[in-house]
Chains A and B, each alone.
Chain A
Amino acid sequence: MKKSGAGYSRKIQMWPYLFALPFVLSYLIFQLFPVGYSFFLSLFDWNGVSDREFIGLKNYSDLLFHDPLFWKSLRNTITIMMLAIPLTIGIGLLLAQLTFQLVKGKRFFQTAIFTPYITTPVAIGFIFSYMFDWQSGILNTILTKIGVLAEPYYWLQTPFTAQCIIALMFVWKNFGYFMTIYLAGMTAIPQDVYEAAKMDGSSSVNTFFKITLPLLKNISIFLIVTTIITGFQLFDEPKLLYGGWGANTIGGPDNAALTVIWKFVDNSFISDSRMGYGSAMAYMLFIFIVIFSLISYRVTSGKADK
């Protein structure tokens, strides 16, 4: 950026600091301090009320070596993400491509497709649990009527289909968001690139894979990395699909729907109040998030270089 000349008096110099101050102060007080304080708490055995007892790294070793449910919840979270992310990317990209070319009704389709993203998770959880209900759910009713199933299937009570349904909730909620972000990227591509391709006789499918997709590489990386970060924090969907309606069951069938954050919330606030243990779990999750987002960044940005 260019210098702003001699008019940059001392009086002006103080303003950027003043402007940045509210954000920085709020961050220190409401985010950074709690993060540090959580680490401190993770070294203690504490139920939130009574005296704290210092136990060093025992919470961490308990979590990693004596709590198979933690690993299971981590596996569940990763499985759900592996099911959901590629599908969301694919659908989002395709939708962006299709609505981008529309002449008529562009805004209608884009708005309609984005609406799931703004829906309250409570509504999504309930609607999905209703649609997949074994007795009165729409899916079973249709499938038995057309004869695909002889009798209703327990979608929500079978571990793998339960994970698929949570992945589906994620896909349904997010494909509009992915579409919007991809649209943002597509608008930034200069149109003459496409005209040149057309002149050279490139088919539209060919243009899409050879030109559009590579030019959207950075957007794809952005989406994959940020989705992995938020995907590890998956909580609302599984929780509201199973335990959100007053019943305090956790985890779904055979704990297949138990995500790390659900376990964290349950251990720290609902079934138990092991604050130190919960803090340790949050930190472990953070470490996994950092590792996985670095790996995914490496993989996605490396592959496209070849």
Chain B
Amino acid sequence: MKIISRSFLIILTILSLFPFYLMIVMSTHYNEDLFQGIPLLPGSYMFENFTTVLKSNFVQVYSNSLIVSIGSVVAGVLFSVLIGFAIAKYQFRFKKALNYFIVITMMVPTQVGLIGYITEMRVLGLGNTLWPIILIWFAFPFGAFFMTQFMRDTIPDEVIECARIDGCTEPRILFQIVFPIIKSGLVTLSILIFVWSWNNYLLPLITINDSRWYTIPVFISNLGIVHRTDYAARMAALTMTTIPLLIIFILGSKTFIKGVTAGAVKG
């Protein structure tokens, strides 16, 4: 029994990591060689592939993606924390209504309003800029829900009371006292928003036509179709795209699983 379950675990771990391995290995081969069979060992063409990628406007695209993801994380996390704090730790008239509001908004898929959103952005003069793919994260219902749950459970009321008696203003309570307590929640939500906005494909695909403002997913799916289909170069670009995410995730993984445990779902 133990052997069976242990091997199941190991097989699934290999299956989880195998495509990454394949991606990195493929990025080290000459494109045309990829069609001859399965490369299981690294080749020697890595440098050339990476050069091909960097010769395109990959640096520009990479910084676009960084701007979008960092902007989304900052705004998305901040606004979620603010409303979460209000609902979790204050008594006020619309508390219950706001709580329902967040739960309902979580159920509405963004796609329903997609055409309206794009039309709105064009009218505001923001078509073909990075704004539409950042602004969509300003109100992120899952984040608000997550932070409300998280703060309700992790911040003792006494801490806030004490600070208030000491003459602390409300914003100072939030930023100086509450923030350190909810660190693991902040890390978890930041990782999630970063990953989701970094990988977002649909929205940039339909809002951005100007290759100057491409983000990585749209850029890669268009890479190298002009002269020849260079799969190896795409793999190199994908490797460069995925590795920062992996690093961020591995660094934050301990906090991440703890954060999900404390905030995401309470039976």
Contact = CB atoms under 8 A, between A and B. Distances in A.
B114 A34 contact: yes
Interface string A60-102: 0000000000000000000000000000000100110011000
Instruction: Give the most central of B34, B36, B90, B107: most A CB within 10 Å.
Output: B90
Nearest to A102: B9
Contact of A118 (B5, B17, B234, B245): B245
A36 to B, nearest CB: 7
Contacts of B202: 235-236, 261, 265
B5 A98 contact: yes
Interface of B: 5, 8-9, 12-13, 15-17, 19-20, 22-23, 26, 34-38, 78-80, 82-83, 85-87, 90-92, 94-95, 98, 101, 105, 107-117, 119-120, 135-136, 138-139, 141, 144, 157, 161, 164-165, 170-171, 174, 195, 198-199, 201-202, 205-206, 216-217, 220-222, 225, 229, 231, 234-235, 238, 241-242, 245-246, 249-250, 253-254, 257, 260-261, 264-267
A115 B12 contact: no
B241 A115 contact: no
B144 to A, nearest CB: 6
Contact of A23 (B9, B144, B234): B144
Contacts of A107: 253-254, 257
13 contacts: A4-B91, A20-B83, A23-B139, A24-B98, A33-B120, A35-B108, A37-B116, A38-B113, A41-B115, A111-B253, A120-B199, A185-B265, A293-B107
Contacts of B266: 188
Contacts of B250: 111
Contacts of A215: 267
Interface of A: 1-4, 7-8, 12-13, 15-17, 19-20, 22-24, 26-27, 30-38, 40-41, 48, 91, 94-95, 98-99, 107, 109-124, 126-128, 130-131, 135-136, 138, 141, 172, 175-176, 180-181, 183-185, 187-188, 215-219, 222, 229, 232-233, 235-236, 239-240, 244-246, 261, 264-265, 268-269, 275, 278-279, 282-283, 285-286, 289-290, 293
Contacts of B91: 1, 3-4, 8
A122 B34 contact: no
Contact of B19 (A37, A118, A124, A293): A124
A32 to B, nearest CB: 8
Contacts of A279: 115-116
B206 A269 contact: yes
A278 B195 CA distance: 28
A245 B112 contact: no
A297 to B, nearest CB: 11
B157 A118 contact: no
B12 A91 contact: yes
A236 to B, nearest CB: 5
